Amino acid sequence: MAQELDRLIETPSQTAGPYVHIGCLPSFAGVEGVYPQDLAVTPFAQGAAGEIITITGSVYDGTGTPLCDAVLESWQADAQGLFAGQKGADEKVSGFCRFAADKDSGEFTLRTIKPAAVHGRNKQIFAPHIALWIVARGINIGLQTRIYFEDEDNHADPLLARIEQDHRRATLLAKKVSTGTYRFDIRLQGEGETVFLDL
Amino acid sequence: MREATALLPRRREMHPVAYYPEYKTSAVRSPSLPLLSMESTPSEEHGPCFGHSAIGSLDNNLITNYTQGKALALGERIRVHGQVLDENARAVPDTLIEIWQANAGGRYRHIKDTYFAPLDPNFGGCGRTLTDANGGYEFFTVRPGAYPWPNRANDWRPMHIHFSIFGHAFGQRLISQMYFEGDPLIELCPIVATVRKRSQLERLIAPLDMQNARSMDYLAYKFDIVLRGYRQTKFENKPQGM
Ligand SMILES: [Fe+2]
């Protein structure tokens, strides 16, 4: 027998379930009056530097049906590539937003600041992107993915470079609809399945 | 602000399987292709920060927070408390925990819950708190009722409280559920069973904690939580290969 590694093990995930809004977006669930307002309904305040963009999309299940009960969270850098709390970061950018798929149509909308590229360890540079986390009934552990932008230079991005198939890489690129407007659909399973991440 | 360090890779075998057909909805909501795995990057190593000013004084008391203290929720009064640590056994202070649950009759206050058990006019069903300097937290609430749900012909969820925990890095983000020691419905629930490793499943079951109960007032349950840890090395900032 070898020595034991004295490390703890992460608590296992469980599905967020259909009523996740009560805890995370109570006013969506119809629970009013406990908190003054829902947490993190916007990732920036007026006066933040950078281009304001709107990203809309839907989360589709394996049958092609949009989820009407998904909750999404986004986390991103500011227009200089810095995260909230880092030295020099834009104080008007919290970088974090929580939003739900519409209960009837399943469409979500994220209005945010377009992030800049982010510098990582070992001189890695990540193209502008927004980290996404998706939870819903039937999703047993939150799904991580990223929104990149088709109108940015993505060729040297270390994460995108790890994706073997070109058509799969495209699942992480938001499509430009018009100036400041993008479309980003997420497919949980099957044809056009989004690349989900384990980082 | 802490320097961003790599997170320990997530041990996926310690988590539920994505595809578990007895939990029917998971059949069409689980990715069929492998996840793309690589070392964490700044986007996972940084995370949102929530200040104490954002949290109200009643936010962690679900017995009173829906009526802002005017009336009490119905049900068996309980205190749920514990500590948040990371995999390196370091306390996780000042991190946001949010919970939500059904009322004592097993009914959620949610536009989509149509179960005929009645709503409690004095119960909303959500609460939140920040951990203290030692990673400790507590909630006061009522024991949620078990409830039936449309899955197999007669599936019931065991009594449970949903937990959402942030940690300090977006890659630590976790949602889970706390069950109650001794509930026979735990063994019958296909959502519980998505966690295939028995020792991991048991970590979701909070023991009765009479030492922390209060006479003539509330019972207590203890629920400790472990989030992903950071890689710890003295060589982190040296160039590769040195
Ligand atoms: Fe539930």
Q: Please tell me the distance between residue B190's alpha carbon and the centre of ligand 1 in angstroms.
A: 13
CA of A18 relative to ligand 1 center, distance in Å: 8
| Residues of chain A contacting residue B31, judged by C-beta atoms under 8 Å apart | 143, 188-189, 193-194, 196
| Minimal C-alpha gap between A119 and chain B (Å) | 8
A73–B173 C-beta distance less than 8 A? yes
Instruction: Return the H-helix or E-strand segment holding A160.
Output: helix A158-161
CA of B79 to the centre of ligand 1 (A): 18
Q: Which of residues 67-86 of A touch B (CB under 8 A)?
A: 67, 69, 73, 75-77, 83-86
Residue A6 lies in a domain: no
A143: chain B residues, CB-CB within 8 Å: 31
**Residue B187: inside a domain:** yes
A64 close to B (CB below 8 A): no
- Look at residue A180 and tell me if it is in a domain: yes
The token pair at B116 is 């005929």
Residue A72 lies in a domain: yes
- Residue A180 belongs to domain spanning: 14-187
- Give the tokens for residue B207: 């023991």
Which residues of B are tagged catalytic? Answer: 108, 147, 157, 160, 162
Helix (H) or strand (E) holding A21, with range, is: helix A20-24
Ligand 1 centroid – CA B228 distance (Å): 24
Cβ contact A8–B109 (<8 Å):
no
Separation CA B56–CA B58 (nearest Å): 6
Measured between beta carbons, the chain A residues lying within 8 angstroms of B61 are: none
ipTM: 0.97
Structure confidence at residue B233 (pLDDT):
76
In degrees, rounded to 5, the angle at the alpha carbon of residue B98 between the alpha carbons of residues B113 and B12 is 95
Tell me if A146 sits within 8 A of B36, measured CB to CB: no
Identify residue A42 by its one-letter amino acid code.
Answer: T
Q: Is residue B37 one of the residues assigned to a domain?
A: no
Q: Do B29 and A61 touch (CB under 8 A)?
A: yes
d(CA A184, CA A172): 8
- Taking CA A9 as the corner, what is the angle to CA A7 and CA A14, rounded to the nearest 5 degrees? 170
B204 belongs to a structural domain: yes
Please write the tens of the pLDDT for every residue from B107-158: 999 999 999 999 999 999 999 999 999 999 999 999 999 999 999 999 999 9
Tokens of residue B229, six digits: 């840890």
Q: Is the pLDDT of residue B1 over 80?
A: no
- Please, which residues bridge with residue A189 across strands? none
**Domain extent at residue B215:** 16-26+42-226
Which member of B44, B170, B194 has the closest CB to residue A140? Answer: B194
> B122 is written with which tokens?
């004095």
B17-B109-A56-B41 Cα dihedral, nearest 10 degrees: -50
Look at residue A74 in the predicted model and tell me its pLDDT: 98
Are the C-beta atoms of B99 and A26 separated by less than 8 Å?
no
Name which of A111, A114, A108 is nearest A56 in CA terms. Answer: A108
**Does residue B242 lie within any of the structural domains?**
no
Place of tokens 């590229």: A117
What is the tally of structural domains in chain A? 1
Helix (H) or strand (E) holding B126: strand B126-130
The pLDDT score that the predictor gives to residue B236 is: 57
CATH number for the domain harbouring residue B199: 2.60.130.10
Per residue in B65-117, pLDDT (tens digit) is: 999 999 999 999 999 999 999 999 999 999 999 999 999 999 999 999 999 99
Percentage of chain B beyond pLDDT 70 is 95
Please give the tally of structural domains in chain B: 1
What is the C-alpha to C-alpha distance for residues B14 and B199, in angstroms, rounded to an integer?
9
What's the rounded Cα separation, in Å, for the pair A129 and B102? Answer: 37
Residues whose CB falls within 8 Å of the CB of residue A30, separated by 6 or more in sequence, listed in order: B109, B110, B111
Report, as ranges of residue numbers, the positions in chain A whose pLDDT lies below 50. none
> Cα(A73)–Cα(B6) distance, rounded to whole angstroms?
21
Tell if the pTM clears 0.80, that is, is over it. yes
pLDDT reported for residue A188: 98
The torsion angles phi and psi of B134, rounded to 5 degrees, stand at -100, 10
